[in-house]
Chain A
Amino acid sequence: MRKLILQYKQAWASLKKKPGFVLTVLMTMGITLGALLCVVTLNYLLLVEPLPYPEQERLFVAEHGLIGAKKETKAVAYTYPGLVHLYKSKQAFEQASMMMYGQDVIVSHSSQPLVNIAYVTPDLHQILASPMALGRMFEASEALDTNNPVAMLSYNTWMQEYNGSADILEKKISLSGVSYHIVGVLAEHFVEPELEIIGRKTQVWLPWDYNQAGKWQRQAFDNINGSLKFIGLLKQEVSQSQAQQLLTPLVNDRWQAGLPGDDDFFKGWTINMHVRSVKDRILGESESIAVMLLAGVVGLVLIACANISNLFMARTAEKQRQMAIQAAIGATKKHLFKAMFAETSLLMFMSIILALVLAQFGFYIMQQYLGAILPRVNELSLTPITFASAVLVTIIFALFFAKLSTRMINYRALNTTLQSSGKGSGLQVSKKTRQVLIASQVALATVLVFANFSLLKDAVKTINAPIGFATDNISTLILNFSSSDIPSQEEAKPIMAEIMEKLEALPQVESLAQGNSPLDGFWVRALTSVANNEKYTPFFKSVDHHYFNMIEQPILQGDNFTMAQRQDGANVMIVNQAFAKQLKADGDVLGMQISTGRPDSFKIIGIVKDITIPGDSPTDRDSSALGSGVPRVYVPNGLGGQSFMLKLKSGQTVSRKQLGTLLAEVDSRYSVFSFNAASAILTQTLFAEITTAVTTTVLASLVFLLAGIGLYGILSYGTQLRRFEIGARMAIGATRKHLITMIIGDNTKAVLAGFIGSIVLFALAYISLSEYIQPFLTWQVLPMVVATLVLIILVTLFACYWPLRQYINKAAIYSLRGSD
């Protein structure tokens, strides 16, 4: 034991003399291992760790897939009555819950905030065994068709909107004209299953009966809604596939019977029930992101490892004489290894402490910036898994570096070292070893830099893709109606006309349109071409006659809508290029008749240019339009619509409160539901791409930095070892040019070998992952290949020159000194 302590003391003393070396190891290993711990913890959480619910392995969602006549999946979403039918049937699931997601304004609150709502049956929180901070969860008294107006708040809502007030259970909140008694607040550590949008947090929970579906929707089997969910505990004796076999006919038969008889749009379609574990549902596409991150970070660790190996080898070379003396006075190989291990383990221990601190910081960053891309990041923390990996990594790397360093020592040659009293060659790493190290470093760096370039390019491309319409100074105002007796279109018309008049009179407003912006979303509508009976499901939006002008979306052919057409509810339609192409190969569709299923068909009167909304892809997966823009269709809206686009004069703003006052003056039942700038919505839609771009930029810069440090380390070490040789060459008349050319020439071979090595790595990757790589293999990668090569070559040249300069820019005697 005393011996061990002594060893560590000696190691510490010897390291203290080399602060530069210690700092480099600490920073390189600390940062990369920190990233590794972060990503390992994330992968464990996402891929292995059970969900924080009792019996989570029996927790499943049932998804409602609409299958077209050609067995293709048309959409995955429930019809309202279909979901209720499934819920009431009590098949396959021991207990299950219906859910609907929505948003609404708490009108009773002084600041009238817009909040995320989930409408659920009491089963949900019972299944999840949700912990409560206050009060109770929903019970039998809130079961289906009880119409009991009570509410539960999330912990954050209680804290933020109600300052955590103690008498919250005596309060009521009112939304859309209903006043709800607050019966409970969920605990802070309650984890909501992210079934809809990753990162969306429900703020207010309301009983299912109060959901936002209209009377008509509650009966409609020909209408689907993506925010309807079904989650439950599968019966013990029922397997996943048995559940699917049981539920598919149950739901399909009811759907077929419930479809309106006069509509043959759905002819040949069926429903397929897909039962999947909640864990799988939550993980979704994130698995590949998590694994990609892991791969990227492992690459970083490999590079860092190569770098640090070089440093340790250089250090061994430096300590050669010291070790020779130790050997002369009786140290065995084992002694030398132990001394080296004391050093490496001390360094790795310090690195891992730094890594743990950085990992904790990394979790915070991930929660801030990856919360919208990756599920469950709020659950990230330093877990036993993190610590176990930390210990494992420390031991492995300490052993690895110690072994590597001691393997370099030619124990028999140590004597010679002493006898020649440090003259001549000293401990030389063979030229071959040096070259192999350089080559592997170049290969690794090339592959990683190239891969990062590609990711970066894709992310930047999405962000910079022209959207095809203007968002400057445009905001969308959506009204909230806070009473249960919703006015008809006819009743609403004069009210809306008055509101518009007042809005237009605001000094800040430049122009106004009725309806919302393209970024606020499109519907999907089932349409049939009258000419040939072909069916389409393009994106669909009703807009007014100012819409295209305001967002500067050009009308390429035909006419815009008119006020008269809106008043009369005329059956006219404007389509975009993509849909025109889908309808007719030559895109000449003016005058074509399109049926919506109702008796009167729509006539196409205009064609507009395509727009690109990030994240929107054609609904029709097998449509030939794929890749040539998303098909969109526009019809004139009525005059009773409760949303508006405001184009403000540049530099001007209008507050939510100001608008609220304006609305209340016209009709006190109206308030602001949402008022968002189009550019803000756009940024939000791009958030995932921006995050990816930032992450890849950071990774790419780190990779490049580490690769650069590594290449530099190895080349500079190689040059140091050649110091006397360089001196000798200078003595016999080599000029600086001679020497630079020589070093570059010698290293070029190794760098070329590295490039070839990277091609081999790519070839291997291609063979095993060709389906992912194939789409990337176009001539467009050529500039990136060139950029990668240029960057690697520049670093190499720099790493050739920079360590050499200390010898060649001084009198020759300085390089020779020490050899004499």
Chain B
Amino acid sequence: MTDIKIEMNNIAKIFETDDVETHALKDVDIVIRAGEYVSIAGPSGCGKSTLLSLLGLLDMPSSGSYIIEGVDVSNLSLDEAAGIRNEKIGFVFQSFNLIDELSVFDNVALPLQYKKELPTDDFIKTRVEACLKMVEMSHRAGHKPNQLSGGQQQRIAIARALVADPAILLVDEPTGNLDSKSGDTVMAVLAELNKNGTTICMVTHDTRYADMANIQLKLLDGQIVKDELLKVAV
């Protein structure tokens, strides 16, 4: 089916440290379709972040297959993975991970700079401005990240994740470092994006926010326990 954005089959992840093997993930099957809003919840240490890093190609699975938009990405070199991340994945971290030395505008523009073919300056300008507008941060384009509040920084991070028009937005506890009011604003932005067609996969502890997703997955000891369809995507 063409509207399948992401398909994971039989994914396992084993960490080996000092003779100790940690089975962080086993037998994970996930399918995410275009326009879906998926949340992943579960107790601490159950493997949420690990799963998200596999989805985002920040790490490679120990076994299993992984297909993004019909392309098999289960076995890529480091640079190939970087290329796919750049093209197809937008990542939002709990700790923002903005680059202090760059302005808000430059932070958002960064993924475009890593494209195989560098877009024109005009394209970059319109695209960055459009993304800043989506997260309602246009007025702060010239600031440095450390001059902004946590919530504002997270919205910049979302703009940066969107700028290269990815297949899916991966979000890891976006409100973990924020107070509830800023958290609400960030979540509102995500909900708005999803309404406009962005596919999202989000890890969160907060059941309130998990409820905003139309598919809720639950992880326990590295395995998915509940695959519940709440609402049908628009």
Contact = CB atoms under 8 A, between A and B. Distances in A.
A436 interface: no
Of A725, A808, A809, A820, most B-chain CB atoms within 10 Å: A820
Nearest to A422: B95
Contacts of A657: none
A335 interface: no
A812 B111 contact: no
Interface string A779-820: 000000000000000000000000000001111110010011
A736 B97 contact: no
Interface in A727-761: 727-738
Contacts of B93: 728, 731, 816, 819-820
Interface in A440-486: none
Interface residues of B, number: 35
A820 B99 contact: no
B116 to A, nearest CB: 9
A425 B100 contact: yes
Nearest to A726: B99
Given A820-B93, A820-B172, A732 B114 contact: yes
A602 interface: no
A731 B56 contact: yes
A819 B95 contact: yes
A423 interface: yes
Given A820-B49, A820-B172, A728 B99 contact: yes
A733 B99 contact: no
A734 to B, nearest CB: 5
Contacts of B99: 725, 728-729
B85 A431 contact: no
B110 interface: yes
Interface string B94-126: 111111110000000011001100000000000
A791 B1 CA distance: 58
Contacts of A730: 58, 82, 85
A731 B95 contact: no
Contacts of A431: 101
Nearest to B86: A733
B83 A735 contact: yes
A424 interface: yes
Contacts of B16: none
Contacts of A425: 100, 146
A813 B83 contact: no
Contacts of B94: 820
Contacts of B85: 730-733, 812
A737 B78 CA distance: 11
B165 interface: no
A423 B176 CA distance: 12
Contact of B97 (A809, A813, A816): A816
Contact of A811 (B60, B96, B110): B60
A435 to B, nearest CB: 12
A424 B95 contact: yes
Of A431, A732, A810, most B-chain CB atoms within 10 Å: A732
B86 A816 contact: no
B110 A732 contact: yes
A808 B91 CA distance: 18
Nearest to A728: B97
A733 B95 contact: no
B160 interface: yes
A425 B145 CA distance: 11
Contacts of B161: 732
A738 B78 CA distance: 13
A434 to B, nearest CB: 12
Of A725, A728, A809, most B-chain CB atoms within 10 Å: A728
Interface in A405-442: 423-425, 428, 431
Of A428, A727, A731, A735, most B-chain CB atoms within 10 Å: A731
A424 B148 CA distance: 14
Nearest to B90: A732
Nearest to B163: A732
B79 interface: yes
Interface in A17-76: none
Nearest to A809: B78
A341 interface: no
B190 to A, nearest CB: 18
Nearest to B95: A423
Of A736, A816, A819, most B-chain CB atoms within 10 Å: A816
Nearest to A421: B177
B82 A733 contact: yes
B83 A424 contact: no
Contact of A727 (B97, B110, B146, B160): B97
Of B83, B86, B87, most A-chain CB atoms within 10 Å: B86
B214 interface: no
Contact of A813 (B53, B98, B100): B53
A536 interface: no
B201 interface: no
A425 B146 CA distance: 10
Contacts of A727: 97
B95 A736 contact: no
Given A732-B85, A736-B78, A820 B95 contact: yes
A155 interface: no
A813 B58 contact: yes
A724 interface: yes
A819 B114 contact: no
B177 A811 contact: no
A732 B59 contact: no
A775 B234 CA distance: 85
Interface string B40-84: 000000000100010011111000000000000000001101110
Contact of A733 (B100, B101, B146, B164): B164
A808 B53 contact: no
Contacts of B91: 731-732
B177 to A, nearest CB: 7
B90 to A, nearest CB: 8
Given A732-B86, A732-B160, A424 B96 contact: yes
A730 B91 CA distance: 11
Contacts of A734: 82, 86, 114
A809 to B, nearest CB: 7
Of A729, A809, A812, most B-chain CB atoms within 10 Å: A812
Contacts of B78: 735-736, 808-811
Contacts of A737: 79
A597 to B, nearest CB: 85
A428 B97 CA distance: 15
B135 to A, nearest CB: 16
B79 A735 contact: yes
Of A727, A736, A809, A813, most B-chain CB atoms within 10 Å: A813
A736 B77 CA distance: 11
25 contacts: A424-B96, A425-B146, A729-B110, A730-B82, A731-B91, A731-B97, A732-B91, A732-B110, A733-B87, A733-B111, A733-B114, A735-B79, A735-B114, A737-B79, A808-B78, A809-B78, A810-B78, A811-B59, A811-B60, A811-B78, A811-B81, A812-B81, A812-B82, A812-B85, A816-B97
Given A425-B100, A732-B91, A732-B160, 12 more contacts: A424-B95, A724-B97, A728-B93, A728-B97, A731-B93, A732-B114, A733-B85, A736-B79, A736-B82, A812-B81, A819-B93, A820-B94
Interface of A: 423-425, 428, 431, 724-725, 727-738, 808-813, 816, 819-820
Interface of B: 49, 53, 56-60, 78-79, 81-83, 85-87, 91, 93-101, 110-111, 114-115, 146, 160-161, 164, 172, 177
The 3 tightest CB contacts between A and B, nearest first, are A733-B86, A728-B97, A813-B58
